[in-house]
Structure 1
């Protein structure tokens, strides 16, 4: 039985689940549970699971936790990048809008211009945090957006489970979102048994300051491309959001 999909889902979903931000409360089962237990928990993630279900339906892949779908969801690129964005948006909204309530009133067909079948779109387009920027209290939204996106970095030092990495951070300069020059920061390892195989210079994926795993060059490329694309379309929306109405005095 191929467990790569369930393994990847658990590693990338564990950090926000452990912090209480998403998914069911049984965080330790993502780390210590069997593949069947991880599958049962994955179905209770109101964010990631609808994407995986829609992607499975649209690709004809029977298992929403097929590795190809899980990889494409977390990192962008891959099989999900081949899907029609308009059709994907319609299917996704039909699944998540009834659960969202009035707080998520921005979940309309207009999101099709931003949508992508990956986590980066969920962070910047579906979650409301980018819509709070430019209101005078930007530090917290930027922290959430930067932490919740899957980021890439280079491992530069390690001391047991404490890792030092070099990678870009998310910045808001009141004109738009952008990535900074790479800077040093410290992250932690959850006990998935992946850190012993890491070597200095490896590219790694990070979610909420926790290690998700090593990245292959093609995965880094897809993650960078999906992030840059999402920042571009989000900045376009933010520029319209903060521009004065037509006909108003400047």
Structure 2
């Protein structure tokens, strides 16, 4: 029988793999070989996780600040991807200072805005902050074009309700991100087609209408409880609010190139 710590690690590695797979498969994050995130052992998932230059620094810092020894403990992984949980209690200024000490040396020479004073008001120990605050895409919105909004919308974790299943294809309703009059907003729920299986794997193989699910790059990455969906909605709403505050103060056309 596993100990509580071992069980938390097992759940954490499984969740990390499910949420990280879609961007990894597309070549955006992590190692080039994706098989470790599809049925790989816990050791292989852990080795792959260490090569995610986005998620892994967050988990390491969250581990140190919470005193939870394993960065892949389920409590940390869930809090990072969804928001809320143990990460929500961390001091934002202290968190961003520790985070930048880890990622700053690698990113600072091309993302000049990564400074404590500019990010402290937006910081949170979750993926949503990484997408909107650390990645450069929200700073490219004023230049026009659809790509920044598309990337932001795809990269954030979103919540959706399954409305129909036809074989191995789902219809879900989710809120899309759009940019209007200088603000990032969420639309009313709209239909989206999502495959149940990807590369012979499904995060929710028995998914049925009425189920709440999480999406990453428009791919299933797991079921959501009502509590988790509320936490994800709250972390997203909060991040959009602080991002829009920055956008309102940002001169038109100002952006940063990677």
TM-score range, shorter chain: over 0.9
Quote the offset at 1:28 in angstroms.
Answer: 1.8
2:171 is aligned with 1:150:
no
**Of 79, 96, 100, which aligns to 1:72?**
79
| Dislocated runs of 4+, deviation >4 Å | none
Shift of 1:185: 0.7
Residue pair 2:142, 2:252 contacting (<8 A) in 1 also: no
SS in 1 for 2:143: coil
Shift of 1:71: 0.1
User: Is 1:97 matched up with 2:104?
Assistant: yes
Residue 197 of structure 1 aligns to a residue in which SS?
coil
Gaps of 5+ in 2: 1-5, 254-258
Tell me the equivalent position of 1:46. Answer: 53
Between the two proteins, the alignment pairs up a number of residues equal to: 243
Where does residue 127 of structure 1 map in the other structure?
A: 135
SS of residue in 2 equivalent to 1:133: helix
In 1, Cα distance between equivalents of 2:13 and 2:132: 25
Report whether the alignment pairs 1:27 with 2:51. Answer: no
Compute the displacement of 1:103 (Å). Answer: 1.6
Q: Which moved more, 1:1-10 or 1:60-69?
A: 1-10
1:112 aligns with 2:143: no
CA distance in structure 1 between the aligned counterparts of 2:151 and 2:244, rounded to whole angstroms: 17
Query: Post-superposition shift, 1:134?
Result: 1.6
2:190 maps to 183
Corresponding position of 1:222: 231
Distance 1:23 1:222 in 2: 26
Shift of 1:62: 0.5
Among residues 216, 234, 242, which one is paired with 2:243 in the alignment? 234
Q: Confirm or deny: 8 A CA contact 1:151 1:207 kept in the other structure.
A: yes
Q: CA deviation at 1:193?
A: 4.2
TM-score with structure 1 setting the length: 0.94
CA distance in 2, matches of 1:218, 1:87: 27
Q: How far 1:163 sits from its partner (Å)?
A: 1.5
What residue is the counterpart of 1:58 in the other structure?
Answer: 65
Take 1:51 and 1:236, find their aligned partners in 2: how far apart are those partners? Answer: 24
| CA-to-aligned-CA distance 1:11-44 (integer Å, 9 cap, x gap) | 0000000000010011122012101100111011
TM-score of the superposition, structure 2-length normalised?
A: 0.91
State the distance in 2 between where 1:15 and 1:26 align: 13
RMSD of aligned alpha carbons: 1.3
- SS of equivalent to 2:214: strand
Q: Distance in 2 between matches of 1:177 and 1:140?
A: 14
Work out whether residues 108 and 114 of structure 2, in 8 Å CA contact, stay in contact via their aligned partners in 1.
no
Instruction: Indicate how the Cα distance of structure 1 residues 243 and 20 shifts in structure 2: closer, same or farther if over 3 A, else same.
Output: closer
Residue by residue over 1:121-154, the C-alpha shift from the partner in whole angstroms, topping out at 9 and shown as x without a partner, is: 00000000000012122x0000000000000000
- Whether the 8 Å CA contact 1:161–1:195 is kept in 2: the answer is no
Unaligned runs of 5+ in 1: 245-250
Shift of 1:104: 0.9
